[in-house]
Amino acid sequence: MHDIYEKLLNEDAQFHHLADLRVYISDLEDKEHTYPDEIELKYDVEIEHRSWGIKDIEVLMRGSAEFEVDVLDADDNVVDTIPVNIDFSEIDYQFSWMKGTEYVPESLVVALSKDGRVIRVNVNFYYLTKE
């Protein structure tokens, strides 16, 4: 933890981290679906410094997140595969912040329409506390 804290204090930084993936599909509550448990997320941490310390910290997601969702029938047979590509530069996404010991994404939560269109994206992110 100390190394990442020092890096953040001295420069803007680029990171990547495995995060839990959670997917919700509207209008498919009666069908099971499967997707990868984790996904790699890339992000930048930009810090605005002042003489008295850090004024602001901004986390920017970069790149894209790609995965497939398999829709299953009652016998667990795949009846449809929905490809999902989330380009973070083209969508609005929301952050939820949780106290932690690093700046790392804990999970990516994606809500899809039944045709695979991205409705909402939320990144649950830990924020740094110096302990």
DSSP string, 67-125: EEEEEE-TTS-EEEEEEEEEETTTS--EEEEEEESS-EEEEEEEEE-TTS-EEEEEEEE
pLDDT of residue 2: 44
The 10s digit of each residue's pLDDT in 9-66 is 555 567 888 999 999 888 766 678 889 999 999 988 777 778 887 777 778 888 999 9
C-alpha 124/C-alpha 128 separation (Å) is 13
pLDDT of residue 92: 82
**Whole-model pTM over 0.85:** no
Confidence of residue 70 (pLDDT cuts 50, 70, 90): very high
Confidence of residue 109 (pLDDT cuts 50, 70, 90): very high
Domain ranges of the chain: 2-128
Q: Which of 66-70, 91-95, 117-121 has the lowest mean pLDDT?
A: 91-95
Residue 129 has pLDDT above 90, yes or no: no
pLDDT of residue 75: 86
